[in-house]
Amino acid sequence: MRIRVRRATPLILVGIRTVDELDVIREFWPVFVVALDASAKVRKRRWDRRQVETESPALHSWEERDAVERSWGLDDLLKGVDITLDAEQPVDNIVEETLEHWDSVSRIEV
């Protein structure tokens, strides 16, 4: 079975976890990759909050989870993103900064 994909406007991707995931997406669409960078302290606080909200025990500690995500090649992935933004700023600012950079991506030849 052959899947036909029509190339369209570039995608804005936020939250990509692996280089392999990005490579597959890039086979079909031009993409603009946004990395959200947060300090270890903030990432841990957010993780702790999610654990309380789910009311289920964590399968791993935060440190183990962070190490697992890094083992997926997260550091390598971050080297190849289009922009890195501070994840500790308000969402509206993240959206605004992303859209400011959008013009450079909208000119990608497809």
Residues 3, 55: Cα–Cα separation, whole Å: 41
Q: How does DSSP assign 84-99, residue by residue?
A: EEETTS-HHHHHHHHH
DSSP code for 17: -
DSSP code for 23: H
Residues 3, 66: Cα–Cα separation, whole Å: 36
| pLDDT by 10s per residue, the chain, length 110 | 555 555 566 778 887 778 888 888 888 888 888 888 888 888 888 888 877 665 555 556 778 877 887 788 888 888 888 889 998 899 899 888 888 887 665 654 44
Q: What radius of gyration do the chain's Cα atoms show?
A: 17
The structure's pTM equals 0.66
Beta strand ranges found along 1-110 (DSSP E): 11-14, 31-37, 83-86
